[in-house]
A and B are shown apart, each in its own frame.
Chain A
Amino acid sequence: NAGVTQTPKFQVLKTGQSMTLQCAQDMNHEYMSWYRQDPGMGLRLIHYSVGAGITDQGEVPNGYNVSRSTTEDFPLRLLSAAPSQTSVYFCASSYLPMDGGSNTGELFFGEGSRLTVL
């Protein structure tokens, strides 16, 4: 049981280049999301998905695209990288929480991907 797997762990890009951060989970979670972590700002939600074919924007979506063609995979695409996108990126998944139910909606995180844009 691998949990949430992110690749690559490190990446250096030049301004204007494109790339895709891969995320896969093997827990059959409906919910998947991408966060970025910047010093002093905690984790901020970029995009999320509540199931295959369904995605929506989070707090900081500009410059990023996502798609969800399968339950397992949720890639994050940077179309034209900018220095402001230098950050640590986390993919996370969970079962959808149910009010009053035993499922808390705890997020399971990947190990993170450190991206530097020059």
Chain B
Amino acid sequence: AQKITQTQPGMFVQEKEAVTLDCTYDTSDQSYGLFWYKQPSSGEMIFLIYQGSYDEQNATEGRYSLNFQKARKSANLVISASQLGDSAMYFCAMRGGGTSYGKLTFGQGTILTVHP
């Protein structure tokens, strides 16, 4: 079974600064994938970034990067140059390999507030 832990219920950041959202995971699978999703106040789920367990380099997508530390089982999301529109709930999620198919396990989420 997979487990995702997000220990920061809420985070605050000043506009244009960088922020790190923490995510740790637990799995016995050798092959797995890690995801980050954004949920603005309007409620939709927006895919941000993906990291495969065998990927040697940290994933990056524009202002988003994933700080993947496999030995520590952490997959923190780094948002550079925060914008007011980044204020939202952020979910870390993972899928296992093999017969886990597309099942994603989600963390509890972190609410990010960007101050002007």
Query: B-contacting residues of A (Cβ < 8 Å)?
Result: 31, 33, 35, 40-45, 48, 50, 58, 88, 90, 92, 94-97, 99-100, 104-109, 111-112
Contact = CB atoms under 8 A, between A and B. Distances in A.
A11 to B, nearest CB: 15
Nearest to A43: B106
Contact of A111 (B44, B52, B103): B44
**Chain B, interface residues (CB within 8 Å), range:** 20 to 34
A106 B98 contact: no
Contacts of A94: 102
B23 to A, nearest CB: 11
Interface of B: 4, 31, 33, 35, 43-45, 47, 50, 52, 54, 91, 93, 95, 97-98, 101-109
B33 to A, nearest CB: 6
Given A41-B108, A42-B107, A112-B44, A104 B101 contact: no
Contacts of A45: 103-105
Nearest to B43: A112
Given A31-B102, A42-B108, A104 B97 contact: no
A97 B95 contact: yes
Nearest to A95: B102
